[in-house]
Structure formats: structure tokens, C-alpha cells
Chains A and B, each alone.
Chain A
Amino acid sequence: MASEEKQHGSGSVEPGDTSQRVGMEVIRERGGDPEEIREKLIDAIGAEFTTYYYYTNLRTHLAGNEDYKEITEDARLEDRAHFELVMPRVYELDGMIPNDIRDFADRASCPDANLPEDPTPENILEVLLEAERCAIRTWSEVCDMTRECDPRTYDMAQRILQEEMDHEAWFIELLSMERDGEVNPAGHFVRGEPGDAPYSKNNPFNESA
């Protein structure tokens, strides 16, 4: 028979205790390390944020190649969407983004996507391609860390990974033709409007974050 006293608590977190988060403890109980995941997420969205910035510059230097500019704009805005998607998760995991943007950039998990010294379309496309490849590796790592213990972060990471893989395929197609004159199709250019982000914006976690 249920107790007369209504029980709100569960596990080791006392009812009403706001100093702990069940949302973190359930990860720990399943063998995950919520603090390690959180710090990895800060690095990963640092890379999304710096990539958004650097792509802005790269895109402007593709003037005259309007098809390349359009695709770069999709990738640029979708990378910003990735930052926006995951940022609230950092706070849910009892963290915060760095107060100093220099720290955020320094700890970004991917290199700065600088404008090449010789900013030809070919060289810019290579920078874009390698930036996307880094993002694929990063989000694959996040998927590995969270697959068995943190379905909420895993869901975000796998959605982002879907779009990063799209981006890699786009830049392989464009670079192959620009540099080598080879047809190497992505098989898809599926965006409706710039930065459509069909996986990471189709069901946002937080519109107002």
C-alpha cells in the first residue's frame, strides 16, 4: 500500500534537492561520465561556433562562384544551428560556455578554418572539406561516449552527424569537379532554404535558448 506521504524523489537524490540533477545521475548510473560528456560538448560546439565564423569569411571569397557560395551558406548556417541545438545541453549538465570567447575558440575541437593564403575556389573548398571531416570525427566520438548511457545527448549528436556527413559529400562533389574535373556526386542537395538543417532544426529542443 502506498505511503500516505507523497514521494517525489528517486534514487540517491533527495526530494527537493536542487544541488544535484537526476538527469546527470542517470548517466552515471549507466556507466557514463556526465562531466566528461559536458566538457566534450563544449569543445564540439566551440568548433561549430568558430566554423560558423570562419565560413562567413570563406564564403565571401567565393564571389563569382554562386553555386559554391550557396552550398557554403547552407553549411555555415547549419553549423550555427548545431551550436544552438547543443548549447542548452551544456547547462543541463551543470556547465556553461566559457566566459571569454578566446577560451571557447582555443578549446574548440577542430582547427580554425582560416582563409588560405592563396584563396582560390579549389583551396577554399579543401578547407571546407577538411573542416567537415573534423566535425564528423568529433560527433562520432560524442556518439560513442553517449550511445549506452545518455540518449538525450546521443540524439543530438547523431542528428548533427547526419548533417555533417551531408556537408562532406557536398564538398567532395564540388572539390572533385573544381580541382580534378571529376564527377563525384554527393547524391543529394536536399535543403529547402539556406541553413534548413533538416535533422538538427526539425524538432528543436529549445526555441528560446
Chain B
Amino acid sequence: MGETTYSVEIVVPEDADSERAGEVVEIEVGEEEYVLAAARNEGLWLPADCQQGWCTTCAAELLEGEVDQSDAKRYYEVDDDEDMTLICTAKPRSDLRIRSHQHREMLEHRAEYDKPPGKSKLG
């Protein structure tokens, strides 16, 4: 029996710094795979840096579905409450729909809740 896979729709915003801006890209992601790695393997280059769930460069908005974010080094309850996800360390637990390229939004969200690296980055 093979690994369970989920369908993940990635909405790339119109104003994203990406050749795929404005597209909705659908990929299959295994339950033990991270969304970012799966997207890059499918040819969709999404932003990321540390890939350890720390720096927030890969932030995305979770529009539908559930992820396991337990591998992230720095992920807060308020992130979950506000449907923000770090896709470098997010494993799908259902079919997903996410909006990519949300780094700035994540920094503003973290700053609002006084969580790093929000204020230290935004001043």
C-alpha cells in the first residue's frame, strides 16, 4: 500500500515576484512530504530560506484544509489561529488550498502579536 497523497492547490498572487504569478497550480503531496519541497519538485519555485520553519520566508495562507506543522522550529498558536502556515515544514493532513508569497503578511502578523521576527524585521 502506497503513501497517502493529498491534492494541494497553490494560488500564486497576481503581484507575486514569480513567473507563475496569477496562476493556480495543483500538485500532489504525500503525507510525509513538505508542501514546499513537493512544489519545487513539480517545477513551481516558491520562496524559502532556512527550510526549517524559522525564518518565515516561505509563509503562506492556508485557505482550506489542515497541515501538520510540528516540524517547524518557530511556529505559534496565533499563526495557526490566523491560518498562516510555513510550507517548508508543513505536511498535508487533508486536501489543501493555499495562497503563497505571504512573507510580508506573516511579518506583520507576527509583529501584531509581538512574536519574532516581526518587529525586529519591520522596525
Contacts and interface: CB of A to CB of B under 8 A. Distances in A.
A138 B120 contact: no
Nearest to A134: B50
Contacts of A137: 48-51
A168 B17 CA distance: 31
Interface residues of A, number: 16
Interface stretch (A53-61, A105-113, A152-160, A192-200): A105-113
Contacts of A39: 121
Interface in A30-58: 39, 43
Interface in A48-95: none
B40 interface: no
A171 B116 CA distance: 29
A204 B85 CA distance: 40
A103 interface: yes
B55 A43 contact: yes
A182 interface: no
Closest 10 CB pairs of A and B: A106-B116, A103-B120, A106-B120, A111-B73, A107-B120, A107-B117, A111-B54, A109-B55, A134-B50, A106-B117
8 contacts: A43-B49, A103-B119, A106-B117, A107-B116, A111-B52, A111-B74, A134-B51, A137-B50
Contacts of A98: 120
Nearest to A142: B49
